[in-house]
Structure 1
């Protein structure tokens, strides 16, 4: 009986792992051109090809990699590169804070691994997963779903970075062909269906408006400010809605 239970547990973990990867497939399509453009950018820059692949393997942050590659090519100091990429990646703290209640019970090893694999795309998939009504088993093995999504995105990014590195010199203007719009279209397809409630809609409108108004700020500070404003707007309206619901229940 014990062996049967262990086998069932393994099957559930494997199933959740594959389910996370499967649900991330639309994001893989959107990220593919982005990874290929990064590889092509490195291939046509003073950087060596293996620098680009190593960056994808260890940094694994698309926006920061693009910025870092540009700064390296312009011979910018390492401290400036570190600080700039840090500012760009601060949004991941918001992602981590959102998902923390779902991973707080895990060991440090698990949290470090999932933290490394956390990207915009994986966050969108995993956050959407936790918004559904989950069974006890789905909640118990949710971190395997997270892992499946993260590993799918990680492998996808490595493959398309390599493709860009190998063939980027043949298409030196690849980054100007509009392929990056595939990422935008993918995010729109995921975000728009989630705007059915007032807090989410208000947060999106606030973040979008301030991102446009503050786009002239250096080091992507305007984008970070817009994200914070959007988050605070959504939190304020969600809290107000919860308070109104409690008052209505008490009445």
Structure 2
């Protein structure tokens, strides 16, 4: 994107709206980023490597999921599998982004993929529920993405640099859990998402004794299965209702 186009996008009201919509979740995202930054260094990662991971991976849930595995010396395939499973949701996100941004060049779509996030996705879909391209969508996305990226990276980098000066007695781990819960609850809407969340929590607790934090994989698999089953049942119920309604209309016409 050239400089004039960038300036025009920054001035776009949709860019400012996207940034404004992300401010509410920014505090939780920042707390999560700070906890992740501290956890990376406390887990034995060097400061340069932690900075590299924060800037390139940019996926807090995956980073937190693999840190205990790396500290425990888990096999590389377990680490990769865990990170991949945690980030499987981005495959679903990408398939839905396609309806809005498929017309863009591949390089720009790859940039959108890097800056995509859970909270951005929810906010975007609430504002643009119809999967049809509109001129305001791209500036809105970049407004939300820029705010979310800064809200994550600034506290994360601060946590990495100041990790050795932050005592464990501050209870940042608990603060991070609260931040995650706040973000999670703001994203739950449909019954299938509530069911998947409940199943994931129950499965993670039930499988807590498994080695190498494999209870995370169990929880993900159980949540995905429960969510898909719930959505499949709801679709079948809707089809049954439609058939019944059509049958009633046919009888009325007769």
TM-score range, shorter chain: 0.7 to 0.9
TM-fit CA distance, 1:182: 2.1
TM-fit CA distance, 1:60: 0.4
Instruction: In structure 1, list runs of 5 or more residues that go unmatched.
Output: 1-5, 195-199
User: Does 2:214 match 1:225?
Assistant: no
Counterpart pick for 2:66 among 68, 72, 77: 68
User: Does 2:105 match 1:116?
Assistant: no
Partner of 1:153: 148
| SS of aligned partner of 2:74 | coil
TM-fit CA distance, 1:31: 0.9
| Deviation string, structure 1 residues 133-186 (Cα, Å, up to 9, x no partner) | 79x9x8223122122212221122110111212322222324334343023123
Contact 2:119 2:187 in 1 (8 A): no
| Deviation string, structure 1 residues 16-50 (Cα, Å, up to 9, x no partner) | 22221111111211111111111111232321112
Counterpart pick for 2:196 among 207, 218, 221: 207
Go from structure 1 to structure 2 and tell me whether the alpha carbon gap of 1:16 and 1:236 turns closer, same or farther (over 3 Å shift).
Answer: farther
TM-fit CA distance, 1:240: 4.5
Contact 2:119 2:183 in 1 (8 A): no
Work out the CA distance in 1 between the residues paired with 2:193 and 2:77.
33
User: Does 2:173 match 1:184?
Assistant: no
Q: Which segment is superposed worse, 204-213 or 112-121?
A: 204-213
| Deviation string, structure 1 residues 181-200 (Cα, Å, up to 9, x no partner) | 02312332343xx4xxxxx2
Instruction: In structure 2, list runs of 5 or more residues that go unmatched.
Output: 250-254
**TM-score, normalised to structure 1's length?**
0.78
Q: Which segment is superposed worse, 22-31 or 209-218?
A: 209-218
Work out the CA distance in 1 between the residues paired with 2:138 and 2:54.
23
Go from structure 1 to structure 2 and tell me whether the alpha carbon gap of 1:145 and 1:222 turns closer, same or farther (over 3 Å shift).
Answer: same
Partner of 1:104: 102
Partner of 2:252: none
Counterpart pick for 1:92 among 76, 90, 93: 90
Go from structure 1 to structure 2 and tell me whether the alpha carbon gap of 1:239 and 1:22 turns closer, same or farther (over 3 Å shift).
Answer: farther
Counterpart pick for 1:172 among 167, 170, 173: 167
| C-alpha RMSD of the superposition | 3.1
**TM-score, normalised to structure 2's length?**
0.77
| SS of aligned partner of 1:140 | coil
Partner of 1:163: 158
Partner of 1:234: 231
Contact 1:33 1:180 in 2 (8 A): no
